Amino acid sequence: MKQIIFIFMSLLCFSCSSKAQNQTADTNVQSDKKILVAYFSCTGTTEKAADAIAKTVGGKLYQITPATAYTSADLDWNNKSSRSSIEMTTENSRPELGGEALNLKDYDMIFLGYPIWWNLCPRPVNTFLEKYDFSGKTVIPFATSGGSSITNSVKQLKKLYPKIVWGESRLLNGSVKQAGEWAKGVI
C-alpha cells in the first residue's frame, strides 16, 4: 500500500513540475537577439509596460533618467510656465540626462517607451536618441497616454532620426499582459 501511495505522489509531483515549466515557457520567450528596453516615465505607467516587455522578451531594462527629476509642478500641462510646458513648446529643448551610461553595441533591438506629452515624445527622449549612435539599429517605439495615439510622436521621431530603422510602434494603454503579448510578437 505504502508503495502505491509513493508512486502516486511521485507522479503528482512530476505532473506539477512539468506544468510549472510549461507556464514559464508560455509567458517568457527567448530570443537570440540582444534586446534593450529603454523607457522614460515620470509617474510609473510607461515603466510598468516596459518592465512587462523586458520580462517577457528577456531584455535589459534601462531607465532614461533626467539629470534633474521632474516634480509634479514641472508636469503641470495646464500651466504654460511649467517646466514640461516650456520644454514641449521649445522644439530644440534637450534636457540633460543623468543615469548610468549605456553601451549600445551590446544590443541589436531597442524597445523605446515614453508617455505622450503634447502629442509628442517628451524632450528627454530626444536627448537620449541624440546622445547615442542608433544608426542602423532597430528601434520599436511604445507609449502610454491619457488617450492620444502614438502616431504623431512616431511621425516626428522618423522625421528627426531617419538613420534609425524604426519598427512598428504601439500604444500600450491596456494591461501589462497586453504589453508582454505584443512584445512577444515583435521579436
Ligand X SMILES: Cc1cc2nc3c(=O)[nH]c(=O)nc-3n(C[C@H](O)[C@H](O)[C@H](O)COP(=O)(O)O)c2cc1C
Quick one: which of 146, 159, 162, 163 contacts ligand X (CB under 6 A)? 146
What three-state secondary structure class fits 152? helix
| Contact between 75 and ligand X per CB under 6 A | yes
| Contact between 84 and ligand X per CB under 6 A | yes
Quick one: which of 41, 126, 153, 169 contacts ligand X (CB under 6 A)? 41
Number of residues that bind ligand X (CB under 6 A): 20
Nearer of residues 18 and 44 to ligand X, judged by Cβ? 44
Residue 136 to residues 31, 161, 167: CA-CA distances in angstroms? 19, 11, 12
Nearer of residues 31 and 148 to ligand X, judged by Cβ? 148
140 grid coordinates: 520599436
Do residues 107 and 136 lie in contact, with contact meaning Cβ atoms separated by under 8 Å? no
| Contact between 43 and ligand X per CB under 6 A | yes
Rg of the chain over CA atoms, in angstroms?
Answer: 21
Q: Which backbone phi and psi does 156 adopt, to 5 degrees?
A: -70, -40
Strands 109-115 and 35-39: parallel
| Contact between 126 and ligand X per CB under 6 A | no
| Contact between 157 and ligand X per CB under 6 A | no
- Interface residues toward ligand X, by CB under 6 A: 41-47, 75, 77, 84, 115-119, 144-148
